[in-house]
Structure 1
């Protein structure tokens, strides 16, 4: 039997096409059975407003598709929807398709990896990438490191580091001799704690309406129970997404010869145009924008580089 369709119009290489196979996932993670119920059509699904159910679903998905035997996150930390996160990784991989990286391992930097470590998990297991995973939050760093330590297939692929200065993205992380093919980032998109709380309430109301249409009950679900939880540094920052990304773009210019593709998710389409302007000002030679459909939400991957493909293929000429 199948579960709720996770994401529409996924990348062709995304393994999470179609609906969840609940029976298969329960065979992988028997604890998931406690959260399974039937929707009005008689299909097996779970209550996506129950954070414990979503964590258990993620554990099953990660074990089934990415060979992750042990995965957990601290209470009230962001629990990511895996199909949408995988899409970002696959579209980022497309950027490297025309670049001859030789035999050297593809090295990727994940800015703000979070307690869940989701991008390094997917990127290392699908593409064999080697990751540096950074975060400013000590609890997230500890959680991410615990995930690495608990899974032998991650220990030689992922290095978790703490960024000690919240004003920086690449400084203190990229060493002088480092060369990265790619950077990833899923930035906080709210401008204040109040905005983040308002967004959470809105999502809760939408989820409640959706559950009502399906004929299911939420039974007093609260904000803390929701699957889209998260800490302040995961959800908001002063100036919001646009301020965060403008600062990231400006700092990236200082590492123009150490990273080929810088990338980030952009949740608000209106932010693309001002970011393009800043990228022109700092001298980016390549800028690409890719729309990604995640259910009813459309976000964008912004990618930029200070090198041409030819320069990256022949770095000795720089």
Structure 2
């Protein structure tokens, strides 16, 4: 009697890479990174002493404290200029009208947590100096990440952008401050259908990439989101003319077809083309609802490690996702060759 064969077992699937979430368990809710220079309230007398032009924009808020009107783009720009001068030694900083004027404490947090990420790959020792090279995708007219990253850690940067006007502004900032031209290189992305391809050259090696992607899908969505934000904050006064977007911003900075989800999906797809040229890729994710799609895309493309780092600045919650295609052995060899030689 012939016994029937047992049914064939389905082929084993490659286990999904589980993203590690780095929570700030040792920090109070809403607190900045411990190394962030912007803890506590701003010292306006000290800021004004360094940048007298700020005095014209200082107001007393409803709590009786000195502040500025963050709905006034001119005030925000002068305030940023004062912060950069006092805390980072940037003597000259300016951006054209209607370009993104970034909140510096939050931008600094991203860099400090990226430094921690590199430190975890290096037995807890955060690498500093010119051996570390980072790529800022979408450097913008403000050039903020290269400025902060170089001042804090002495890293080298390449900043890419699709807009020549943004690069012209960033270049003017670099040239106006001694010592930055040797530390920050700018490259234009000539092809609007690509993000990394064409910017990363065949002989490039980057320890980090970072990105603040456009998070709206259209100009209309960006405008609606800004109005909703002011309404929720109780600041939308029909008698008062407010800017459409509180920190300004050009189209490529604020929105793209498909919004954040589609942009990051493209970034992930192209990152696989450069998996042996970059130690850690990363991007901010403003919408927590996009994380599931990000993890799925990274798993499909074969990322070997994925980490999510939660951040908070007061009431604002944010996060970034980082990934690598290198095994632990390859990471160790990278560090030995690049950082320790």
TM-score by length of 2: 0.84
Instruction: Check the 8 A contact 2:130/2:154 in 1, yes or no.
Output: no
Q: Choose the corresponding residue for 1:123, options 128, 131, 149.
A: 149
Q: Which moved more, 1:78-87 or 1:166-175?
A: 166-175
Q: 1:219 and 1:32, CA in 2 relative to 1: closer, same or farther beyond 3 A?
A: farther
Do residues 287 (structure 1) and 309 (structure 2) align?
no
Taking the TM superposition and a 5 Å limit, the aligned residue runs for 1:93-132 are 93-100=115-122, 105-132=131-158
Do residues 143 (structure 1) and 169 (structure 2) align?
yes
Q: CA deviation at 1:308?
A: 2.6
Cα distance in 1 between the residues matched to 2:278 and 2:139: 18
Please list the CA deviations of residues 113-135 of structure 1 after superposition, one character each: whole Å capped at 9, or x if unmatched. 11101110110100111000000
1:313 paired residue number: 332
State the number of aligned residues: 304
Cα distance in 2 between the residues matched to 1:54 and 1:80: 9
Taking the TM superposition and a 5 Å limit, the aligned residue runs for 1:158-237 are 158-207=184-233, 209-210=234-235, 220-224=240-244, 227-237=246-256
RMSD: 2.1
Instruction: Check the 8 A contact 2:128/2:154 in 1, yes or no.
Output: no
Taking the TM superposition and a 5 Å limit, the aligned residue runs for 1:268-283 are 268-283=287-302
Q: Choose the corresponding residue for 1:30, options 52, 70, 82.
A: 52
Q: CA deviation at 1:102?
A: 9.7
Divergent runs of 4+, >4 A = 100-104
Do residues 19 (structure 1) and 41 (structure 2) align?
yes
Q: Choose the corresponding residue for 2:277, options 238, 244, 258.
A: 258
Do residues 301 (structure 1) and 320 (structure 2) align?
yes
Q: 1:205 and 1:294, CA in 2 relative to 1: closer, same or farther beyond 3 A?
A: same
Cα distance in 1 between the residues matched to 2:203 and 2:86: 37
Q: 1:268 and 1:54, CA in 2 relative to 1: closer, same or farther beyond 3 A?
A: same
2:120 match: secondary structure: coil
Instruction: Check the 8 A contact 1:182/1:263 in 2, yes or no.
Output: yes
Instruction: Check the 8 A contact 2:30/2:316 in 1, yes or no.
Output: no
2:263 paired residue number: 244
Instruction: Check the 8 A contact 1:288/1:303 in 2, yes or no.
Output: yes
Q: CA deviation at 1:194?
A: 1.2
Q: 1:103 and 1:63, CA in 2 relative to 1: closer, same or farther beyond 3 A?
A: closer
Instruction: Check the 8 A contact 1:25/1:61 in 2, yes or no.
Output: yes
Please list the CA deviations of residues 224-273 of structure 1 after superposition, one character each: whole Å capped at 9, or x if unmatched. 5x542111111111111011001100100000000000000000111111
1:80 match: secondary structure: coil
Instruction: Check the 8 A contact 1:74/1:143 in 2, yes or no.
Output: yes
Q: CA deviation at 1:185?
A: 0.1
2:119 match: secondary structure: coil
Q: CA deviation at 1:155?
A: 1.4
Q: CA deviation at 1:284?
A: 0.3
1:108 match: secondary structure: strand
Unaligned 5+ segments in structure 1 are: 1-6, 213-217
Cα distance in 1 between the residues matched to 2:288 and 2:223: 21
TM-score by length of 1: 0.90
Compare CA radii of gyration and give the structure with the larger one: 2
Q: CA deviation at 1:211?
A: 8.5
Cα distance in 2 between the residues matched to 1:105 and 1:194: 43
Q: CA deviation at 1:313?
A: 2.1
Unaligned 5+ segments in structure 2 are: 1-28
